[in-house]
Structure 1
Amino acid sequence: MLLTVGITASAQEALDSRHTIVSPEIHDDNRVTFRLKTPDHVASVRVGSDCFSSGGADLKKNAEGIWEYTTPEPLPSELYSYFYVVDGMMMLDPSNVYIVRDVSTTMNIFIIGGGIGDLYKVNAVPHGTVSRVWYDSPSLQMKRRLSVYTPAGYDPGSKRKYPVLYLLHGMGGDEEAWLALGRVAQIMDNLIAARKAHPMIVVMPNGNVAQEAAPGESALGLVPPTPYLPKTMEGTFESTFPDIVQYVDTHYRTSRKKSHRAICGLSMGGFHAKFISARYPDMFDYIGLFSAAVAPGEKVHSEVYENMELKLKKQFDTSPELYWISIGKDDFLYSANLDYRKYLSLNNYPYTWFETEGGHSWRNWRHYISRFVQEVFK
């Protein structure tokens, strides 16, 4: 009885608690204050965030004994992630309930509005629907999960058909990555409402063919997320991709024309988009490679990656509407993408090159998808 009373009291205390610490506090001038209350014995607190060019900053104790740091300059409009390092141990901000997972790392987030950050917010516009659906993959002999965005106004009973964008994640990601980290549902809602993007269905598959679904969302239970999964970049995902297209075309009101299909992805997903679109040259008219790995590993041998000169020639002979390559100047894959660009130019294959500052980051990938979806299905 005493145990039950204790649990009930604890739950009630959680419901009734009032957090007096505001963190992060976004000031009117877009400077941001981070705060953390710790036990007295803590000797150091540091905040790590992509809002700092240096990667982080040290907090100092204020007169009330709260660790605190305010950015000296206003932050540009953007979605930012951050975490604390307390005496060398990483932890989340207990005053901020907004958390995302990137593979096995969790981080708090906040948004500065007034610019591109407004694209990542839920605004007062018509909203689409995100569904998690299971499909049969005969080629893999398993059921697997997809995330699917359908735009506002999508009615299963209507005769209107929609174009489809297949959006692929990077290594260690899954069918949740573009939704949680990429803010794709918010981006699509906002751009479609502003008539800057055509209403489209966005399909986000799990590119790890060894998985049924994201960690914690399959019969395997609450397994630890890891980027080190079998069969990620050895040809299986590319060769079995038609299973996904077949499911989408038979369960959604899609236009099956090449001109109404697009495929793009980040890093490993860009790798997949490159080789899927080359393997099936009549399937996609719009191809986007975001910070893409552009070549298989030296020890990888698959017919999917063989005879690429011939496959690319056949693909470009079909005259795709858009072949879009984007990468940051500090990306570790920048040099490889430059080489691929030179190859395309040498062969007079038309492409669009979009270069930005920064590196291999979700900040760039959110920018890239926001630009790419405005260029497709025109």
Structure 2
Amino acid sequence: MNDFTELLKNQVFNEDANGFEPRAMEKLSINGSASQKIKTGAVVQTNGDILFRLYAPEAADVRIDFSGTHIRTQKGQIITMEKKEDGFWEYTLPYSSRDVGPRDFIFLIDGAAVLSPYLPVYQRSHRLNNYIEIPDPDFTLHHINNVPHGSVVYRTYWSEVYQEWKRCLIYLPAEYNHEPAKKYPLVFLNNGGSENETTWFSASKIHYILDNLIAEKKAVPMIVAMTNTMAFREEDKEQELLWGWRDMIINDTIPFLENEYRLYTDKWNRAICGNSFGGVAAGLMGWSHPELFGNIGFFAAPVRYENIWKKYEENTHMHWMVENGDKVGEQYKVLFFSRGEAEYLTNKNLQMDDDWLSRNGILRQDCTHMRLYAEDFTHDHSTFRRGFADFCKLLFKDEERHLGQHDPRSHKTAT
């Protein structure tokens, strides 16, 4: 039997974007009794099981819309809760190594989607969802450890491309304020298609991942910027085209960051990466502009813009790769691809991508790195955060990387 007693003592299992202390229990007066504090919502047990408990005495039907992709119930992702005599609804979901990391869900009370105020939330599926962190004993880099901790700051800046204010979350390494003469490389971390710029921070805890990697000297200190990849201009919304986001990054975001922070400005000190649709965006930007980005990371993400251009030859930003496959290593220091094996075995698009990468000589290049995570892992943040960590371990290791400064503001992009 699993025993996660020690693992669950780490403060990361209490911390969330809205609070650092354990959340207060719900106060309930049941059948006229004095108020009592009761744990409701969802609680991870020491064996890894999740106890869902909700007080809704007048409800006729309560279910859980759970994101886990391998739920052991007859109804797949919709779990039916059992009503108890005291008005509580309960369900215990057994632990599975297939369903670890941050898992989002929402309660369905008589058909209405309801958030529990006693649980953390993050953005996914184009909405706020409750989530719970399920122990992942083989990956603990996101835990809060006794190491120097960096900071995550919210910055607002003006976008000439959109003619409106935009927001960016920025991770600064712990040493940043103590090394006033030092410059740092920059990583753009893109969110998935139904998420926003807060998800990597609130759900995947990338700030703790970087704190631990840097403290262990497995990654160099770096600055990470998170913008909302899903910020479409009106003319781009219907087809989810990324032209506005692309132009904003080049013309607005990079100049803002370089003006505000001590950054190296050459391509070898700049990377772009993302999960799912955010990886598509990384490829669209990184392969279109090798003069700006020397490192690209795809976390469970297609290499082509498959929603719009299904045929590889329609993806014009990839034409250079086809014509110069054997020279890819001259333009990129790191090309990184990671997937969960459970998804890869059933996802024909990812398999087609690998065939395309192989036929064009890209997989043979020293700059190319592939990671396939266990048979259990699929399209979720337990897979994404592994990819992010492994990508960061590879970045900016070349001692010559500070040579060849480059100003991206000299490369304006036409819409």
For normalisation by structure 2, the TM-score amounts to: 0.71
Report whether the alignment pairs 1:366 with 2:385. Answer: yes
Once the two structures are overlaid, the 10-residue window that deviates more, 326-335 or 285-294, is: 326-335
Whole-Å Cα distance in 2 between the matches of residues 86 and 236 of structure 1?
A: 39
* Aligned residue number for residue 237 of structure 1: 245
Mapping of residues 153-172 of structure 1, within 5 Å: 153-155=175-177, 158-172=180-194
* Aligned residue number for residue 92 of structure 2: 70
* Aligned residue number for residue 254 of structure 1: 263
Report whether the alignment pairs 1:125 with 2:147. Answer: yes
Mapping of residues 73-88 of structure 1, within 5 Å: 73=95, 78-88=101-111
1:262 to partner: Cα distance? 1.2
* Aligned residue number for residue 377 of structure 1: 396
What is the Cα-based RMSD across aligned positions, in Å? 3.4
Per-residue deviation, residues 294-334 of structure 1 (Å, max 9, x unmatched): 1355589xxx9536322564571524222112234437993
* Aligned residue number for residue 93 of structure 1: 116
Report the count of equivalent residues: 345
1:275 to partner: Cα distance? 1.9
Indicate which of 287, 291, 316 corresponds to 1:278.
Answer: 287
2:268–2:294 Cα contact (<8 Å) kept: yes
1:29–1:74 Cα contact (<8 Å) kept: no
Identity %: 25
Indicate which of 300, 308, 312 corresponds to 1:291.
Answer: 300
For structure 2, which runs of at least 5 residues remain unmatched after alignment? 1-26, 29-33, 398-415
Once the two structures are overlaid, the 10-residue window that deviates more, 192-201 or 143-152, is: 192-201
Amino acid corresponding to residue 131 of structure 1 in structure 2: V
Amino acid corresponding to residue 320 of structure 2 in structure 1: L
For structure 1, which runs of at least 5 residues remain unmatched after alignment? 1-12, 213-227
Report whether the alignment pairs 1:27 with 2:45. Answer: yes
Mapping of residues 204-353 of structure 1, within 5 Å: 204-210=226-232, 229=237, 232-243=240-251, 244-293=253-302, 294-295=304-305, 297-298=307-308, 305-306=315-316, 308-310=318-320, 313=323, 316=328, 318-328=330-340, 329-330=342-343, 334-349=347-362, 350=365, 351-353=368-370
Amino acid corresponding to residue 333 of structure 2 in structure 1: E
1:116 to partner: Cα distance? 5.2
1:149–1:185 Cα contact (<8 Å) kept: yes
1:59 to partner: Cα distance? 2.5
Amino acid corresponding to residue 348 of structure 2 in structure 1: S
Report whether the alignment pairs 1:192 with 2:214. Answer: yes
- What's the secondary structure of 1:19's corresponding residue? strand
Mapping of residues 139-154 of structure 1, within 5 Å: 139-154=161-176
- Going from structure 1 to structure 2, the CA distance change for 1:146 and 1:345 (only over 3 Å counts) comes to same
- What's the secondary structure of 2:38's corresponding residue? coil
- Going from structure 1 to structure 2, the CA distance change for 1:211 and 1:179 (only over 3 Å counts) comes to farther
For normalisation by structure 1, the TM-score amounts to: 0.78
Report whether the alignment pairs 1:135 with 2:157. Answer: yes
- Going from structure 1 to structure 2, the CA distance change for 1:331 and 1:89 (only over 3 Å counts) comes to farther
Whole-Å Cα distance in 2 between the matches of residues 23 and 141 of structure 1?
A: 41
Amino acid corresponding to residue 254 of structure 2 in structure 1: V
